[in-house]
Structure 1
């Protein structure tokens, strides 16, 4: 083993391992003093500081937040054409996917059945590993039909050959041109592994498109349990729709916002960068509604005329680039302008005459180099000419260190970029060693959006080790909220069994959801953000191991002006308790407050069956401006102290 590898292995064995004792400490012995000076107030913390990043990866939207239960509902998939479907037909029946008589220009394919004589056929959709339905709840089945077919079509929800709900569509006369048919289905029992079947009996030619099964209980097509998880995060902003999804594998399958609005049958099913087809059932309009519901600033990201830059990028020509730029201008008209404009009128026609007042636009995702910089300048010039108050976010490269990163920052500073989007996926050790990263940034700008970050352990587990490192890193980010104005963990969602990327913040299946340890760190930090950073210093802070510079404890102190509370956040990522005397100057305490504690073993993970890592609260009393507190091993602690 090489010398450097050996040192790395020693560090890994040391960090977060319960069985290794660093030193023997007496209970109650004070190792540190945390001095807090209320009279020395630092930067204000923006309301946008903690946010979420939403990308359709890991079936976060299709098969996730979007409540559509049918997979491959429109038969538009160019590869895996029959994905999600099973077909049974009588001997005389022929079937195929055709495009001669399309539903519309964006939805050109459909399923066709030919019955030369009276016969039977059944189409069964398996959903995403089974369809979940609940007893007594209403589900809307719908489909578009056309052709010269005469007969009966029955929609059934079944489980192990047991019919849970059914309804008939009778076509006593030829179906003719495309027409939408709907049925209300109410299952007689709950099933986590049901199927939707369309049973057909008759003769003639029948064309089927846009087969759908959706629970009536939803909010703008979104799952309410997943929405509640987002609401509890109290995000200050939502960055969407990606991510690499924005770039596309090619410019042809890059995200185009205009394809994502309007009626769902008019939305263009497209190949997703992450390896599956997306229906765009949740599009830009729904994202804006979601931002409104969560009281979060929208931060839409647009393609800069460059496909996925890491692998064989495709660059838009000068003429094509004008169209990409116009897409952004049209979006801002859609989001912000009056209803007497074309796109403002489109917004009003969708049911939202009031503007959304979008304040931020991101140009690019993980782009870099002269070609991107040239394109960015063209976007910025066009946007600022029509919308001078909109702040434009510049994309950093995938790396958070190194030559490309330094060159991007140099260009950003020299060209007066407003906001620089950094992405950091790093080991827990790196995060613990770099909590002072933003201390060194120029206070005059550009500002930073930490658009994607997460700690990646060995094996990329969503465990408490990773979450502790993220919490420690966040204390340093929060102290520098005059530089970092937005920060969002990534990715947000993962459907169990359908993932492309781990770790993730929220895991779910067809009927359950749980937050990972990282989720609860994010939630606790967002709930206890505060309005302004208060000066604080910890004695004996530095902690050196094997040449690495860490800290014994990681902390940040803020003040909540509304509740009149001092908020002290302390992270102890080590296998030893640390007793601290807190000395508070410049403000008096009422003597009571609240403790919010998250604790666990480094390898602990949450699951559907058990939430090992969750915050616990208790009231604390008898406090004064000097008191001792022991921060337990492997904990994130928040103290909210009432002040006079």
Structure 2
């Protein structure tokens, strides 16, 4: 094959001699995995409950430690004898996964109501149908239930009368009742109100209000605008469910996947690891995991987005910054079995395997074809290595095709060096590295993987984000400068795709008024959401992934950071295009010529803005990429790289 060179000429100030960039299309430096750019999801910053999960009712099953958290009652519980009307019944001996329910007893007609505040208010749209459901059991007949949605002024914008059906009476079992409410007006800071009329006694549980415009109308009940932003990235994988919540404050609050599948009343609510605020110190004492989104929903979401599922499991260690609990090595059978059962749940035959049948019973007979499994999150030290060996031996002997992702801790420090050396000596499949660093660090480390061992384990950058100030500080913002630093860093990941097989920004979501950590990829309130400059960087890489890395050099050397320009080049054999990514974080414009072209169609996508600029709810598209189509006439194309810009150029081969 004839060697084909594209010459990219950089125009320096007039007193500096111009230099040439060379892209060698004849040489394939590395194959790019379909999983290269993906997503990391964790229920932090209201990412699930109050965020991606579309449920509008907080503490819907009264299972918070304070069972009335999120609720107000009239008459007040203290007004004429505590719990005379409203009484929390602890039913843990019968159903430990749904231990509480509310018993309402009305002996004389009066204004008895129960009101839920939602997640920073109940938000509804005019004309959109909302599905109201509750589980109830009638103990003494006579109560009628009227359900209302009221606005911030207390005016009713939607209501329904919920009939207590005959099969909810006196047979000892809870029954699911449901109806539809269509608001006559839009309200943002509303409330859900249950009015009890007449006299009688009624047990109620799992009160729910969910919009009918969930993503693709799926029964997983995910908020459409948030999930669509994920789908628009076209991720290669999604890592779930975290993050620190995998570890738990202690082992009792670790994430246990088997408790997140099946009927909602069988999904045991637990405290969220992030309720105390983590590094930010922003405590959220009402932050719990309802598991309305569980492993079944995560697997189905990955399937819908056509990306690889990447579940992460607890390895027998709780958060090593918290209680630091360790399961004895001779008592690890339950933890290892959970991993084996998860693989069977994801991939097992729907008839001949126990957990494959369970998946089929939940409505998904076909396997999910899971290939990736993480063992532990940000764990380190000899205690992690000892437990990893137990998982590896059990899983590889039964499922050798499963690629195991192993932890190196939480940051590049001496602990990381120890873990990296140990894991390499054990020839693990994939090593997980996490980086939360400053813009300068990301810019200066774009060549980090240039000299990594090409025959060693693959690298997964499981979490990374550029922080404008110190980690966890509330002053961190998703600035354009941070996005450009990430884009520059990603050129190095892409150039070294034979070593770096996957990468994901973290965290993914944050509620603008209810968060513990920043920066984040996508921000939202109860009405709308916006993408950050960092989001657009992720999207521009993922939509322009390519199939093969080709060399791009300046005077025979990597151009990472030379003259304040970072670059990478790939080809997409399927689409028949060369894709060049160019990052100019400096304040000086750069002029480039690309010579040796055949001519034809091309496109140029540019993300640019002042270094301090950020998007917001008020200005969601202040910083946004713009794409221009062009026709290249002749063999040369001249381009201007704007100051503070990230450019993706696609050229026909």
Is the structural similarity TM-score above 0.5? Answer: yes
Confirm or deny: 8 A CA contact 2:146 2:195 kept in the other structure: yes
**SS at structure 2 position matched to 1:286:** helix
Give the CA deviation at 1:222. 0.7
Distance of 1:373 and 1:385 partners within structure 2 = 18
Alpha-carbon separation, structure 2, partners of 1:433 and 1:101? 55
Kept in 2, the 8 Å contact 1:533–1:559? The answer is yes
Q: Following the alignment from structure 2 to structure 1, what is the Cα–Cα distance between the partners of residues 365 and 15?
A: 62
CA contact (8 A) 1:420 1:448 kept: yes
CA distance in 1, matches of 2:15, 2:542: 31
Deviations 1:283-341 (A, max 9, x none): 00110001101110011000000000123300112354110110111111111010121
Change (3 A) 1:106 1:434: same
Question: CA offsets, 1:254-308, max 9 Å, x none?
Answer: 0000000001121111111011111100100110001101110011000000000
Matched, 1:517 2:533: yes
**Unmatched 5+ stretches in structure 1:** 1-23
Alignment of 1:400-549 (within 5 A): 400=412, 402-458=413-469, 459-539=475-555
Q: Determine helix, strand or coil for the equivalent of 2:103.
A: strand
Aligned with 2:44: secondary structure? coil
CA distance in 2, matches of 1:252, 1:550: 51
Query: Which residue does 2:89 correspond to in 1?
Result: 98
CA contact (8 A) 2:98 2:267 kept: yes
Verify the 8 A CA contact 2:132 2:208 in the aligned structure 1: yes
Query: Which of 551, 575, 584 is 2:587 aligned to?
Result: 575
The answer (yes or no) to whether the contact 2:143–2:201 under 8 Å persists in 1 is: no
Q: CA deviation at 1:103?
A: 7.5
Deviations 1:68-97 (A, max 9, x none): 00001011111x432211111286643232
Q: Compared with structure 1, are the counterparts of its residues 43 and 625 closer, same or farther at alpha carbon in structure 2 (3 Å cutoff)?
A: farther
1:102–1:109 CA contact under 8 A, matched in 2: no
Contact 1:572 1:632 in 2 (8 A): yes
1:217 counterpart residue number? 213
1:137 Cα offset (Å): 1.2
Report the 3-state secondary structure (helix = DSSP H, G, I; strand = E; otherwise coil) of the residue aligned with 1:290.
helix
Cα separation, partners in 2 of 1:550 and 1:116, compared to 1, 3 Å:
farther
Distance 1:469 1:88, change over 3 A: same
Residue of structure 2 in register with 1:19 after alignment = none
Q: Distance in 2 between matches of 1:382 and 1:165?
A: 55
1:132-163 deviations in whole A, cap 9, x for unaligned?
A: 11111111111122232522111101112221
Contact 1:102 1:110 in 2 (8 A): no
The alignment's TM-score, normalised by the length of structure 1, stands at: 0.91
> Please, which of 370, 390, 395 is the counterpart of residue 378 of structure 1?
390
Superposed CA deviations along residues 83-118 of structure 1, whole A, max 9, x for unmatched, are 211111286643232214877331011122332333
1:144-543 equivalent positions in 2, closer than 5 A:
144-146=135-137, 147-159=139-151, 160-171=153-164, 175-176=169-170, 177=172, 178-218=174-214, 219=218, 220-275=220-275, 276-339=287-350, 340-400=352-412, 402-458=413-469, 459-539=475-555
Which of these residues, 114, 118, 122, is aligned with residue 113 of structure 2? Answer: 122
| 600, 604, 608: which one aligns with 1:599 | 608
Q: Distance in 2 between matches of 1:131 and 1:102?
A: 33
Question: Which residue in the other structure is 2:624 paired with?
Answer: 614
1:627 is displaced (CA, Å) by 4.1
Is 2:68 the partner of 1:82? yes
Structure 1 position 142 matched with structure 2 position 123: no
Tell me, in whole angstroms, the C-alpha distance in 2 between the residues paired with 1:395 and 1:612: 38
Are the aligned partners of 1:36 and 1:582 in contact in 2 as well (CA < 8 Å)?
Answer: no
Secondary structure of the 2:210 match is: strand
Distance in 2 between residues matched to 1:46 and 1:623, nearest whole Å:
33
* Alignment gaps of 5+ in structure 2: 1-10, 276-286, 470-474
Find the aligned partners of 2:29 and 2:642 in 1 and give their Cα distance: 28
| C-alpha contact (below 8 Å) 1:36/1:583 kept by paired residues | no
Q: Displacement, 1:170?
A: 4.1
Alpha-carbon RMSD: 2.2
Q: Which digits, 9 at most, give the CA deviation of each residue in 1:224-265, with x for residues without a partner?
A: 111210111110000000100100001101000000000112
Please report how far the alpha carbon of residue 630 of structure 1 lies from its aligned counterpart in structure 2 after TM superposition.
Answer: 2.4
Q: Tell me if the contact between 1:541 and 1:551 (Cα under 8 Å) persists in the aligned partners.
A: no
Alpha-carbon separation, structure 1, partners of 2:93 and 2:14: 75
Determine helix, strand or coil for the equivalent of 1:639. strand
* CA–CA separation in structure 1 for the residues paired with 2:632 and 2:311: 48
